[in-house]
Structure 1
Amino acid sequence: MTTTLIRRTTRILVVNPNSSAAMTHGVEEAIRGMGLSESTETYTYTAPPESPASIDDGDDVLASSEVVYKNLTSTGALQQYDAVLVACFSVHPLVHRLAELQGSRGKLVVTGIFEASIQASLALLTTPPLDTAPPRKWGIVTTGKFWEAHLTRGVDKFLGVDAGSANSKFAGVETTGLTAGDFHGHVDPAVIKQKLTEATKRLLDQGAVDCVVMGCAGMAGLEDIIRAAAVEKYGLERGNQVFIIDGVRAGVGLLEQTVRNKRMFQSI
């Protein structure tokens, strides 16, 4: 008897490179609300305890990269996956390092929630009907001060824009002054709401902002706060039209389609 494979499963690993199980739980809740194909399986991974519990600066980014890369490659865990999403909103070295690996299911498709959010935002922006109209914009609301320069440089590099050059579609980065860990029980929810609302309104002050990116995986589930700020700033109709981008959802959706495209358009 012979059998024929007629449908291939897509297996995506979502990597939380910090050691916070609470953060991973928030990521899982975001994924559960997605309408994925029945043939797409998603799995989550939390970094070992030696990785930072909250990634708040460049040192934490590098430390988490080393810990997670060593752990994933030494255990061979990546062999069973088609794609990996790095769930840290930063220019994270794991994205490039893991993309270089060859697994038993072929070369891994890898992106980060930072890169996926940029692509989702640009795809959703509309072009004004008149050349004289101001461009529609997207921007990022994130945690601490460090990320303002880090993410701005990252956006420029990803889009191929010279550092310091004008980017008419990017409204910039606004920060709450919180850390990633603060979104998981470390800070009074009322304080989180206030700081996130204020940062969102500052971003919306930059012009016709159509997309607000939640620049931290820990912000999953806080869309209503951003939506309320947009409605207060723009009014009910316009505020409800603003896209609020969750990088985890953007990343999983992008990887699902990219794996499918790879199978359709690559000959090997």
Structure 2
Amino acid sequence: MSASPDEIKILILNPNSSASMTEGMQKSISTLNLPDNITLTYYTAPSSSPASINDGADVQLSASVVLNDLGSSSSSLLQNHDAVLVCCFSIHPLVTKLTEYASSNLTSSLSVTGIFESSLLTSLSLLTSPSRKWGIVTTGKFWESHLTSGVKDFLGQSQPSQNEKFAGVETTGLNAGDFHGDIPQSVIDAKLAEATRRLLKRGDVECVVMGCAGMAGLEEIIRRVAVEEYGEERGRKVMVVDGVRAGVGLLGEMVRWRRMFSQ
């Protein structure tokens, strides 16, 4: 944990084994004007974890690999940090598991959240009226039901009920690895634009969440489509939420709140 009472050490945890995706997150975070007291460390899962997390089996395998690694040679990582950001846009077991581990094994508290959770909370805080909505553009078909159910569970909402502020999930048909792979950028841009357009047509969408850590840096594609769909004035006001950046900001506050409100 931090030696100074004001220092905040955050572990940016990539549960897949793609070093290029971790580098993309680091590049995105580097644009933030972070306070001098926040220190970031980056972790990429071992090679036995999937290079791209594309479905429920990949989510579970990545959690198992990371927990095994952190419980052995990398165990000091948790002890030396105040917070952990799980960088997989899913209802990832590591958020709960690392919170439970910290409660049972660490002498000091550890704030843990994921980019899914931080994106949801950030989007809700940014909506400017009850009629405005937020939604998610993400990768493959699996995530439509996974994320829709996850939103309702996180908010304590019964599954059949309708959430008037949530516009839903639209998918590109790509997987996370494609954003840092061999697929031409023009194809990626076109698929992201199509998914964004479908989401914006669902209503008065004010926040669009990039539902994949691999999308970092592609905000302008979404903003361009927003202007095309909603017009210049309204389209420019659509906010594009990067879960990695949102998570870093939220964790900084979580650590401060925990110190403020704990004995």
Q: What's the TM-score, normalizing by structure 2?
A: 0.95
- 1:111-190 → structure 2 map (5 Å cutoff): 111-128=113-130, 135-190=131-186
State the match for 1:132 in structure 2.
none
Shift of 1:44: 0.8
Instruction: Please list every run of 5 or more consecutive structure 2 residues that lacks an aligned counterpart in the other structure.
Output: none
- The answer on 1:211 being equivalent to 2:207 is yes
Write out per-residue CA displacement over residues 130-188 of structure 1, whole angstroms, 9 at most, x where no aligned residue: xxxxx100000000000000000000100111112110000000000000000013211
Q: CA deviation at 1:236?
A: 1.2
**Counterpart of 1:153 in 2: which secondary structure?**
helix
Letter in 2 for 1:111: T
Give the superposition deviation at 1:18: 0.3
Deviation at 1:30, TM superposition (A): 1.0
Conserved? CA contact 1:101–1:107, under 8 Å? no
Residue 235 of structure 1 is matched in structure 2 by: 231
Aligned residues: 257
Of structures 1 and 2, the larger Rg is shown by: 1
Cα separation, 1, equivalents of 2:48 and 2:195: 32
Check the 8 A contact 1:80/1:104 in 2, yes or no: no
Give the whole-Å Cα distance in 1 for the aligned partners of 2:25 and 2:112: 17
> Aligned match of 2:14 in 8, 12, 16?
16
Counterpart amino acid of residue 168 in structure 1: E
Query: CA RMSD of the aligned region, Å?
Result: 1.2
Deviation at 1:6, TM superposition (A): 6.8
- Matched to 1:53, the amino acid is A
Cα shift at 1:84? 0.2
Question: Do the aligned partners of 1:101 and 1:108 also contact (CA within 8 Å) in 2?
Answer: no
Structure 1: distance between partners of 2:181 and 2:142 = 22
- TM-score under structure 1 length normalisation: 0.93
Matched, 1:43 2:41: yes
Give the structure 2 partner of residue 220 of structure 1. 216
**Structure-2 separation of matches of 1:139 and 1:248:** 16
Asked if residue 54 in structure 1 is aligned to residue 52 in structure 2, the reply is yes
Q: Distance in 2 between matches of 1:261 and 1:65?
A: 27
Within the alignment, does 1:91 sit opposite 2:97 as a pair?
Answer: no
Matching residue's letter, 1:207: G
The residue matched to 1:248 in structure 2 has which SS? helix
